[in-house]
Structure 1
Amino acid sequence: MLRGVMHYQTWLMILVLWTIQAAEGCPDVCKCSKKSAPEKSEVNCHKKGLRAFPSRLPPDAWILKLGENGIIDLKANALRSTPKVESINLERNAIKSIHHQAFSGGKQLMLLNLYGNHITSLPLKGFQDLLNLRFLMLGHNQIGSLKPQMFAGMRNLSDLDLPLNALTTLPSNAFKPLIALKVLDLSLNRIQKISPKAFIGLRQLMFLNLDNNSLKNVPAGAFRPLRSLEMLVLDNNLLSMLGSSTLEGMENLQELYLRNNELEHLPPDVFRKMAKLSQLALSGNRLKTVDGNVFAHMPDLKKLHLHDNMWQCDCNIASLVRWMGQTKATLSPRDALMCVSPPELRKKSLSSLQADKLSCHE
């Protein structure tokens, strides 16, 4: 009987201890479960009505799912109790401010998702402890300016997403600490001005997205540091010209998108030293004529989009017509590539023209 009582008391004590540990570890409204290894917990607090970052979390937590709550700010040492955390999802909360020591100690963090909050500015050196961070999602916030100190210490970051913010300028050295960055998304901002030194340090960058901004021009040599760039998206801006040195230094570029801008002229050497270019999109601009030799130095060109321009089909376009007849590149869509003037050739396909029969118009 005594042995039975002792066994019961031992069991009760274990249960109490387990309950206390559980209470200290997992927030009441959340679900905590072991994943893949005994020492790793996944904490799921998605859409649970939280108003603050949980202070009680399992010390072995490696994934925190905190999306779609009402968290307003991130206070200092938010990760103190979770030194092993590798992934934090805080998308679609109401975060307005981030303490500069909020992520202190998060040395194993690899992914941080802050998409869809109300962040207006990033703390200087606020991410400097995140030495292993690979992915930082900051899209759909209200971030209005960038400073290099904001990204201090992030030497392993490979993917920075900043679309749908309120950026108007890219200052000098804006991304200088990000020496391992491969992907940079700056689409759907209000960027009007790029400093000539904005992209210094980004020697590993492979993809740059500047789609849907308000760029009227890009300073000469601004893209020069981007030696590894393979894809550049400049669609839906206000670019009226490309200088001879606008695209200088991008010998590894494979895809260039300039759709829906206001380009009226292409310098003959604008694509020089871009022998690896395989896709080029110039549709939706105001081009009237282009020298066919502009594309002659691209042996790998596979797709070229030239439709929806203001093609003036006279003798000045003859070299382009000749090149079109010789190239193996796909001119997509060929049927939409039409003359706008002179009146007698309006809506006539460029591919049906004969170069030696095009007359000159005063």
Structure 2
Amino acid sequence: MLLQNRSTMAGSALLLTIVGLSVSVPKCPMWREIAPCTCKQESQITSIKCFSRNYTYDQISEKFQGHFNPANRVHLSIGFADLKDLNYRAFKDLNMTIEHLRLNHDTIGLPINEESFDGLSQVKYFSLADSVLNDVPEQLWKKMPNIATLDLGRTHIHSVTSTNFQGLDSLAYLLLPGNQISRMDKDSIPSHLSTLHLGRNHIKILNGTLLNLPNLNWLLVNANQLETLENELPVVAPNLQMIHAAHNFLDKLPQQLKTYPNLDTLFLNNNKLTSLDGALSKSRKLLRLVLENNYINTICAEDFAETEMLENLILSHNELTTLNNSLLNLKNLKYLNVTFNRLTEFSFQDVVGLEELGNIDLSYNQISKIQGPAAAFQNLVEWNIQLLELKLDHNLLETLNGALSGLPYLIKLDLSFNQIKSISPDDLIGLDQLQFLDISYNQLTTLEEMSKTFLPKLSELIASHNNLTILERDFHGLPVLCQANFEHNQIIALGRDLVAKTRCQIDTGVYEGTWDTLKINLQDNPILCDAALPEIMSLMEINHTRIYGTTKSCLTLSEQPTTSKPNDFLGYIPELPLPPSVEDPSPIQVEKKPDTIPAFPVFDSKPLPLLNVNNLPFPPEVELTRNEQYTVATEETPSNHLEPLALKTPENDVPINSNISEEANVKVEVSGEKAPNVPVETPPPSAVEIFTEPMPTPLPLQASGLEPNSTIPMTQTTELLDKNTEEPRKP
């Protein structure tokens, strides 16, 4: 019986415990019951947000009735509400324990009735940001004595007096940004602060308000009108880590910076500094230093004597003409930005030994010469440079002089907007990890030498806006190239072997290691106007390459060139001299195949050196104009155009578009879509002979078998003439 009673008592106690726990765990009401407010339970904290424009305090209070109790530890946010009626009510009526209170973007009745804030003794975080106050509401602190974080940002406060924050003994974070503060009384800032934000005000002088802040960690005085910080910073601040003093009128760094042993971040950009004056020489834990948009014209090694921990140094938009070997002590430097300065020369000797340096940005300078450390050490092993990205765009470089060779970890190289005329094999040797190369907006006429340099991982090449004319074997050293941009060049021909040794390979993402298509952008290049463009595209597609781009600058049909091109190229090339080994060429005879598309001839032995639109292995001795070769007697149409002639294959009766526009400024669009499956006829090798005289006069239209107003495709012209004329006389 005794054991049974004990068991019953234990069970009852367990049941009471479970019931007690279920009662003590707060719960949010259904959202319909408190809408437009929302409630979210996070552990023991109930987070309530009420963001409804023009909602009054009475309406919000009514929504909460009967849903909360003092056991609820609440973080309450009320935004964009009309709280003028708050002066006649009190927060204690909400029947909850508020620990965080945010009244942001609200309309509050002024002056604020302190009695309305009864019941807020547990508040640790209080924000009135973005609500109009005009003055610090110091009468409220007696109701909320335990505030640790106070945010009065953008509340139209004009001054800070010595009594504004009295009684807030727990205050650690004081945020006053974006106000109109122009006057600060001495001793107005509580001495126990760890973070002080006075940014974006109208402060001209700090008036000694920061001298007695020994616990300060973060100080923000950015975007004011300060002319000096000398004798204005804390006398003793062993924990000071960050100073944000950007966008002021400082012309000199305070020497007090040497006394802060834990300073790791310093923003001094957009001031009037001309030098560092050694003020940072003792900052041993400095990690980030931002000095952009100043007037600094010189730096020296003493400026960074003991700043070995510095990782990010930004010196852009200054007036530096040299780095002066000032960075050699920065053994942990990872990022260096010296853009928009006046550097005329860069030597890798300035960064030798900085093994952690991964990114250098030297763009927008006047650099005309780069000097590699090999000139000083004569040994690439001693470089100790592991650069990942180098930006030298918008400079005055004409040659690289091999200064960039031997950077085995370099991934991205930007040489755009320079005056580079040529790239030699030595310029890019040893760049085994290079994946991105930008040489656009230079004066390059050829990339032939690049074929002698092996870049095993280059996947993207940008060479737009140069003077390139022919791409022959330029990709032979680029085995995995995927993107090639040649916009706005003068490219007229592509080598048949251009992509013979290149196959795009994806090296990142879920498809890493798989093959893809090489994409060549030929936007606004003359080759897009070539009559043989469809055949060029087809031959490229065989090698997993797609050509794309558009142009609006094609010549009219009668002005398109018809001179010959070497057999190793695809596209129009200006007339070449006759090889001396050929003295007595013979005429060519091509069989008539009206329902097939002619292709390049196939040769049994050695390939002939030249190939052109007429399938002539060598150019005729007398160059003929376009009209002499392709004139067909016909009636003149009103538009002076020849109508297109539709060809069909006997097998599938699929029409083939053979229209060639004669209009000037025609936009030619090229896509990667394959043409219908049309058989391609290749003339037998025995039928290939050589013309030595001009073509005979064309027959009348009726003899040719064509209808009036018909356009003769360029690829069919030779066959048409061959069908209706006798064999040309041999010499």
Q: Which TM bucket (shorter chain)?
A: 0.7 to 0.9
Partner of 2:240: 85
Partner of 2:394: 236
Identify the match of residue 366 of structure 2 among 214, 220, 230: 214
Identify the match of residue 108 of structure 1 among 246, 259, 262: 262
Identify the match of residue 348 of structure 1 among 521, 527, 535: 527
Q: How far off its partner does 1:269 sit?
A: 2.4
Partner of 2:410: 253
Partner of 1:5: none
* Residues 53-62 or 40-49, more deviating: 53-62
Identify the match of residue 140 of structure 1 among 289, 293, 306: 293
Identify the match of residue 469 of structure 2 among 277, 302, 312: 312
Partner of 1:357: 569
Opposite residue 199 of structure 2, the aligned amino acid is: H
Name the SS for the 1:170 alignment partner: coil
The count of aligned residue pairs is 330
Name the SS for the 2:370 alignment partner: coil
Partner of 1:162: 315
* Paired residues for 1:1-362 under 5 Å: 19=166, 28=185, 41-52=194-205, 55-57=208-210, 58-75=213-230, 78-99=233-254, 101-124=255-278, 126-171=279-324, 173-195=325-347, 197-221=349-373, 225=383, 227-244=385-402, 246-291=403-448, 293-294=450-451, 297-313=454-470, 317-320=471-474, 323=476, 327-333=479-485, 336=487, 338-339=489-490, 347-348=526-527, 356-357=568-569
In 2, the alpha carbon distance for the partners of 1:55 and 1:29 equals 6
Query: Does the 8 A contact of 1:186 with 1:209 survive in 2?
Result: yes
Q: How far off its partner does 1:110 sit?
A: 1.2
Q: How far off its partner does 1:204 sit?
A: 1.4
Opposite residue 110 of structure 1, the aligned amino acid is: D
In 2, the alpha carbon distance for the partners of 1:306 and 1:30 equals 63
Q: How far off its partner does 1:332 sit?
A: 4.2
In 2, the alpha carbon distance for the partners of 1:229 and 1:123 equals 30
Q: 1:222 to 1:40 in 2, by over 3 A?
A: farther
Q: How far off its partner does 1:51 sit?
A: 2.3
Q: How far off its partner does 1:142 sit?
A: 0.4
Superposition CA RMSD, Å: 3.6
In 2, the alpha carbon distance for the partners of 1:295 and 1:93 equals 53
Name the SS for the 1:104 alignment partner: helix
Q: 1:239 to 1:293 in 2, by over 3 A?
A: closer
Q: 1:252 to 1:196 in 2, by over 3 A?
A: closer
CA deviations over 1:28-81 (Å, ceiling 9, x no partner): 5999799xxxx8621011123222456333321111111011111232583423
Opposite residue 482 of structure 2, the aligned amino acid is: T
Q: 1:104 to 1:328 in 2, by over 3 A?
A: closer
Q: Which runs of 5+ in 2 are unaligned?
A: 1-141, 146-162, 175-183, 494-523, 541-565, 578-731
Q: How far off its partner does 1:132 sit?
A: 1.0
Q: How far off its partner does 1:273 sit?
A: 1.0
Opposite residue 348 of structure 1, the aligned amino acid is: I
In 2, the alpha carbon distance for the partners of 1:280 and 1:53 equals 50
Name the SS for the 2:476 alignment partner: helix
In 2, the alpha carbon distance for the partners of 1:48 and 1:355 equals 73
Query: Does the 8 A contact of 1:221 with 1:249 survive in 2?
Result: no
In 2, the alpha carbon distance for the partners of 1:77 and 1:68 equals 17
Query: Does the 8 A contact of 2:423 with 2:450 survive in 1?
Result: no
Opposite residue 490 of structure 2, the aligned amino acid is: C
Q: 1:73 to 1:180 in 2, by over 3 A?
A: same
Opposite residue 50 of structure 1, the aligned amino acid is: I
Q: How far off its partner does 1:337 sit?
A: 5.8
Q: How far off its partner does 1:94 sit?
A: 0.2
Query: Does the 8 A contact of 1:178 with 1:201 survive in 2?
Result: no
State, as a whole percentage, how many aligned pairs show the same letter: 23
Partner of 1:7: none
Q: How far off its partner does 1:121 sit?
A: 1.1
Q: 1:226 to 1:77 in 2, by over 3 A?
A: farther
Query: Does the 8 A contact of 1:33 with 1:42 survive in 2?
Result: no
Query: Does the 8 A contact of 2:288 with 2:313 survive in 1?
Result: yes
Higher relative contact order (CA 8 A, sep 6+): 1
In 2, the alpha carbon distance for the partners of 1:175 and 1:135 equals 14
Query: Does the 8 A contact of 1:170 with 1:193 survive in 2?
Result: no
Partner of 1:3: none
Name the SS for the 2:217 alignment partner: strand
Q: Which runs of 5+ in 1 are unaligned?
A: 1-10
* Residues 72-81 or 229-238, more deviating: 72-81
Opposite residue 319 of structure 2, the aligned amino acid is: A
Opposite residue 526 of structure 2, the aligned amino acid is: K
Q: How far off its partner does 1:182 sit?
A: 0.3
In 2, the alpha carbon distance for the partners of 1:129 and 1:242 equals 38
In 2, the alpha carbon distance for the partners of 1:31 and 1:111 equals 26
* Residues 201-210 or 68-77, more deviating: 68-77
In 1, the alpha carbon distance for the partners of 2:489 and 2:206 equals 58
Q: How far off its partner does 1:251 sit?
A: 1.1
Q: 1:106 to 1:89 in 2, by over 3 A?
A: same
Q: How far off its partner does 1:297 sit?
A: 1.8
Q: 1:312 to 1:102 in 2, by over 3 A?
A: same
Query: Does the 8 A contact of 2:457 with 2:479 survive in 1?
Result: no
Name the SS for the 1:61 alignment partner: coil
Query: Does the 8 A contact of 1:198 with 1:222 survive in 2?
Result: no
Opposite residue 56 of structure 1, the aligned amino acid is: T
Q: How far off its partner does 1:295 sit?
A: 7.2
CA deviations over 1:198-254 (Å, ceiling 9, x no partner): 22342210000001000111123279746221000001101000112x113421111
In 2, the alpha carbon distance for the partners of 1:222 and 1:49 equals 53
Query: Does the 8 A contact of 2:185 with 2:209 survive in 1?
Result: no
Q: 1:253 to 1:346 in 2, by over 3 A?
A: closer
Q: 1:75 to 1:229 in 2, by over 3 A?
A: same
Q: How far off its partner does 1:292 sit?
A: 5.8
TM-score (norm 2): 0.41
